[in-house]
Chain A
Amino acid sequence: MAFSTTLYNTFFRRNSVFVSTIFVGAFTFGIGFDTAVTSFYDKWNKGKQWKDIRHKYVEAAEE
């Protein structure tokens, strides 16, 4: 009861807060989800992608 009341009072009571919560939530979830999936994907494909071999050629170009 207490939790749902707090929840209601903080997020649902005022429409402005409610809408901004959704927007901010979607934004942060988007970034977080993308970061999580990308880090898994990069681990899974370790050593195969361009970012894994790039350093060999960038240094060579600078020398």
Chain B
Amino acid sequence: MLYTNLKHLETAEDFKKAVSENENVMIICGRMGPMCIPVYEIAEELENEYSHVSFYDMDFDNPASSVLRSLPETYGFMGLPFTFYFKNGKVVKATSSIQSMDQVKTILNSEFPVAVKA
């Protein structure tokens, strides 16, 4: 159980729906641990600024999180949280362990640029 203000993914179906219905998705898969909490907080803070990105979390200890844990991008990952960035249903970036606000923003800006209106 994650005590965050992010939208929670509870089942594999939730996950499929999230990445198929939204173009840009960030999912943080972790526990309520010291390396995870700062990343949830960063996502909570960026939700308004990055309205074109959908932010979710998923409990690492929920068996359904195997949809994320078994992704090939997690090879070598040994630090929580596992954070995934999906574009049109495909993983475009994944990180392991704590990240700073600047690191998260850099990824969001490069992977999910806002279309410039002509």
Determine if chain A interacts with chain B: no
Interface residues of B (CB under 8 A from A): none
